[in-house]
Amino acid sequence: MASVILTIMGWAIPVLMLPVIAKRHLPTAALAWLIFLFFQPWLGLAVYLLFGENRVIRRLAKNYCQRITEIRSTHPTHAGGAHLNYAPVRTDVPLDRITERLSCLPAAQGNSVEVLDDGFDVIDRMIEDIDSSVNHVHLLFYIFQDDALGRLVAEALGRATARGVRVRVVVDAFGSRSLARELGRWMRERGVEFHDLMAINPFRRHHTRLDLRNHRKLLVVDGRIAFTGSQNIELKDYDSARADAWHDIMVRIKGPVVAQFQMVFVEDWYLSSGEMLEGEEFFPAQDKDGEVPVQVIPTGPTDPNSALRDILIAIITSAREEIIISSPYFIPDEPFRVALYLAGLRGTRIELLIPRHTDHPVIGAVARAYITSLVDSGMNIHFHRGLLHSKTMTVDNSISVIGTANFDRRSFFLHSELSLILYGHEFTERLRAKQLRYIAQSDPLDPLRWRRRSLLKKTRDDILKILSPIL
Q: What percent of the chain stands above pLDDT 90?
A: 52
pLDDT greater than 50 at residue 142:
yes
Domain co-membership, 380 together with 238? no
The predicted structure's pLDDT at residue 455 = 84
Q: What is the pLDDT of residues 151-172, one digit of tens each?
A: 999 999 999 999 999 999 999 9
Q: Are 363 and 471 in contact (CB under 8 A)?
A: yes
C-beta atoms surrounding 387 within 10 Å = 18
Tally of domains in the chain: 3
pLDDT greater than 90 at residue 241:
no
C-beta atoms surrounding 115 within 10 Å = 18
Q: Which residues pair with 167 in a beta bridge?
A: 137
Domain co-membership, 397 together with 275? no
Q: Are strands 330-331 and 349-355 parallel, antiparallel or unpaired?
A: unpaired
Q: Are 231 and 250 in contact (CB under 8 A)?
A: yes
Domain co-membership, 402 together with 282? no
3-state DSSP assignment of residue 112: strand
* 101 belongs to a structural domain: no
Domain co-membership, 36 together with 78? no
C-beta atoms surrounding 272 within 10 Å = 25
pLDDT greater than 60 at residue 430:
yes
Which amino acid would we find at residue 214?
Answer: N
Q: What is the pLDDT of residues 451-464, one digit of tens each?
A: 888 888 878 777 77
Domain co-membership, 44 together with 133? no
Here the CATH number for the domain that contains residue 215 is 3.30.870.10
The predicted structure's pLDDT at residue 314 = 93
pLDDT greater than 60 at residue 250:
yes
Domain co-membership, 451 together with 359? yes
* 466 belongs to a structural domain: yes
Residue 354 CA to residue 442 CA, distance in Å, equals 9
Domain co-membership, 41 together with 130? no
Give the DSSP per-residue string, 400-450. EEEES--EEHIIIIISBEEEEEEESHHHHHHHHHHHHHHHHTEEE--HHHH
Domain, as residue range, for 439 = 307-470
Q: What is the pLDDT of residues 118-139, one digit of tens each?
A: 999 999 999 999 999 999 999 9
C-beta atoms surrounding 206 within 10 Å = 17
Domain co-membership, 247 together with 366? no
Residue 20 CA to residue 216 CA, distance in Å, equals 31
C-beta atoms surrounding 452 within 10 Å = 8
Q: What is the pLDDT of residues 17-36, one digit of tens each?
A: 667 666 566 666 666 767 77
pLDDT greater than 80 at residue 66:
no
Residue 106 CA to residue 118 CA, distance in Å, equals 30
Helix axes 27-39, 2-24, angle to 10 degrees: 170
If one compares 378 and 209, the residue with the highest pLDDT of the two is 378
What is the band of 367 on the pLDDT scale with cuts at 50, 70, 90?
A: confident
The predicted structure's pLDDT at residue 236 = 94
Domain co-membership, 116 together with 233? yes
What is the band of 102 on the pLDDT scale with cuts at 50, 70, 90?
A: confident
Domain co-membership, 223 together with 370? no
Domain boundary among 294, 315, 348: 294
Residue 239 CA to residue 227 CA, distance in Å, equals 19
- The predicted model gives 399-414 an average pLDDT of 91
What is the band of 40 on the pLDDT scale with cuts at 50, 70, 90?
A: confident
Mean pLDDT, the chain, whole residue set? 83
pLDDT greater than 90 at residue 385:
yes
Name the phi and psi angles at 124, rounded to 5. -60, -45
pLDDT greater than 50 at residue 76:
no
* 206 belongs to a structural domain: yes
Element (H, E) at 227: strand 225-229
Torsion of CA 208, 209, 211, 212, to 10 degrees: -30
Q: Are strands 250-254 and 108-116 parallel, antiparallel or unpaired?
A: antiparallel
Q: What is the pLDDT of residues 285-327, one digit of tens each?
A: 888 889 999 999 998 876 556 889 999 999 999 999 999 999 9
* 299 belongs to a structural domain: no
The predicted structure's pLDDT at residue 90 = 40
Q: Which residues pair with 197 in a beta bridge?
A: 172
* 301 belongs to a structural domain: no
* 102 belongs to a structural domain: no
pLDDT greater than 80 at residue 251:
yes
* 300 belongs to a structural domain: no
pTM over 0.75: yes
Going by C-beta distance under 8 Å and a sequence separation of 6 or more, which residues neighbour residue 344?
350, 377, 378, 379
* 35 belongs to a structural domain: yes
Domain co-membership, 348 together with 461? yes
- Among 250, 170, 251, 258, which Cα is nearest to 222's? 258
Domain co-membership, 205 together with 338? no
Which of these ranges, 41-55, 114-128, 191-205, 310-324, has the smallest mean pLDDT? Answer: 41-55
Kindly tell me the burial class for residue 300, based on how many C-beta atoms sit within 10 Å of its own C-beta (0-12, 13-18, 19 or more): buried
If one compares 371 and 250, the residue with the highest pLDDT of the two is 250
